[in-house]
Homo-oligomer: A and B are copies of this chain.
Amino acid sequence: MAFRWEPVTQLGQRFVDTAENHARDFAGRAAAHDRDGTFPHENFDELKASGFMAATVPEEFGGWGLTSNHDLAVGISRIAGADGSTAIAATMHLTFGQIGAWFNRYQRETGDEAGAAGTAGFLTLLGGGAIGMANATEPGTDLRHPLTEVTSTEGGCAINGRKTFGTLSEIADLMFVPSRRAEPDGSYRSVAAFVPRGTPGQTIKDNWDALGMRASGSHDVVYDNCVVPEELVLDNGTAWGEDGLINVVIGFAGNLPLVATSVGIAAAAYDEVLRQVKTRTKAPSGRPLAERRGIQHLVAQMEADLVTCRALLSHAGRHIDQAMARPANEVDLDVMHDIGREFQCVKLVANRKAIDIVDTALTASGGAGYMTSSPLSRLYRDVRAGPFMQPYSPVDAHEYIGKLALGLPPDIDD
């Protein structure tokens, strides 16, 4: 038996067991949601009911207190084997809690009482059952340069802008909206607004229609003079576009489960095609396809790629956990960019290998996998989403890794 990717903490084991239970139910629904592009509300009802959605919220705020990003990613990879869309949608919420918890601790350890109160506020909401999501991506810019703007207005702050790829927006109760806010001198600060669902001026467009991940509800969200109270807009402590700790941490900890999603999809494709070639035969010999050396060669290639993906996730996950366990006084931008740099290598290779695995599974399936009725055809579309997830796309990742390795500032300005 090939080694699977396993959790490293007890709480992680519980999380993964829960994920596997859910996955059995989700698998049967995936094809229909994919076909229709519908959000799997029943999956999320079940994920809420089991407590899964509260896993990353600290115990003091009502959750399980799962701090291992590694184990979070293991659990998500199990969900992804059944339904990639559910996996990424759940991730949007779960990492929101986990990174929020880390940041809350960091704020307390660095004496940032006001900040800590703010993060405690939303952790309390999450612990109480609210669903949160990052609503960060915008067309025509990168994550460090949101064009969405916050301006002071009567009764608070007005938000104006358009976000895309708003995964989980179908059910999220609370959006985390990275923005910029002008200073009197015309320069911008980097800020983030927390927007409760249904705030006037916020429109969830219900327009997600993509090649894959069709059940993820990744709609555009438009903010048109959407006004929230001043206390729901947090200053990130940096100028707009400036490199900041929280962005770097989100970059890896928010992304590892997304890479794990791709790998979980690839593993499902591998399992599916192994099943096929063991049972199907070919005339004139009538031998099982599994006995053909050409098929064995493809299987070896897929397995080698899968081992590579698992080794990479395990490697990055352990390092991320170590970095996030550091006391605040041992944390700085350089330390976190070291992790970010390694993580981007992992993301670059694992996302590509995951695509390769599903592609090879299609090749081994000999045409059967190209039919809509085969799960392989869905997995092929779903797995292609991985490299688009920010930060970073492959182009940017090469620049980020290369510059850091060469001792240059990791700015993606080229």
Binds B, one of A86-94, A104-112, A119-127, A278-286: A278-286
- A141 and B283 within 8 A (CB): yes
Closest to A285 in B: B413
- B290 and A293 within 8 A (CB): no
Given contacts A293-B293, A307-B342, A346-B307, contact A402 B370 (CB under 8 A): no
A396: CB under 8 A from chain B? yes
Q: Which residues of B contact A307 (CB under 8 A)?
A: 312, 315, 342, 345-346, 349
- B380 and A384 within 8 A (CB): yes
- B395 and A370 within 8 A (CB): no
- A3 and B413 within 8 A (CB): no
A274: CB under 8 A from chain B? yes
- B308 and A349 within 8 A (CB): yes
Residue-wise, chain A 345-376 has the 8 Å CB interface mask toward B (1 for contact) of 11011000001000100111011101111000
- B210 and A372 within 8 A (CB): yes
- A406 and B315 within 8 A (CB): no
Residue-wise, chain A 117-160 has the 8 Å CB interface mask toward B (1 for contact) of 00000000000000000000101111001010000000000000
Shortest beta-carbon distance from A135 to chain B in Å: 15
Q: Which residues of B contact A342 (CB under 8 A)?
A: 2-3, 307
Given contacts A308-B349, A370-B212, contact A319 B3 (CB under 8 A): yes
- A300 and B395 within 8 A (CB): no
Closest to A400 in B: B300
Cα–Cα, bound, A140→B277 (Å): 11
Given contacts A342-B2, A370-B385, contact A304 B401 (CB under 8 A): yes
- A292 and B414 within 8 A (CB): yes
**Chain B CB within 10 Å, residue with most, of A295, A349, A395:** A395
- A211 and B380 within 8 A (CB): yes
Cα–Cα, bound, A368→B311 (Å): 31
A399: CB under 8 A from chain B? yes
Instruction: Choose from B165, B296, B314 the contact partner of A402 (Cβ within 8 Å).
Output: B296
A303: CB under 8 A from chain B? yes
Given contacts A209-B373, A312-B308, contact A140 B282 (CB under 8 A): yes
Q: Which residues of B contact A147 (CB under 8 A)?
A: 283
Binds B, one of A69-77, A258-266, A386-394: A386-394
Q: Which residues of B contact A300 (CB under 8 A)?
A: 345, 348, 397-402, 405
**Chain B CB within 10 Å, residue with most, of A303, A355, A362:** A303
Shortest beta-carbon distance from A230 to chain B in Å: 26
Q: List 5 A-B contacts (CB under 8 A).
A: A296-B402, A300-B398, A300-B405, A304-B401, A308-B345
- Give 13 A-B pairs besides A3-B319, A278-B406, A363-B393 with Cβ atoms closer than 8 angstroms: A140-B280, A141-B284, A210-B372, A241-B284, A285-B413, A293-B402, A296-B406, A299-B402, A303-B345, A310-B315, A311-B312, A363-B394, A381-B381
Q: Which 4 A-B pairs have the closest CB atoms?
A: A296-B402, A311-B315, A141-B283, A294-B395
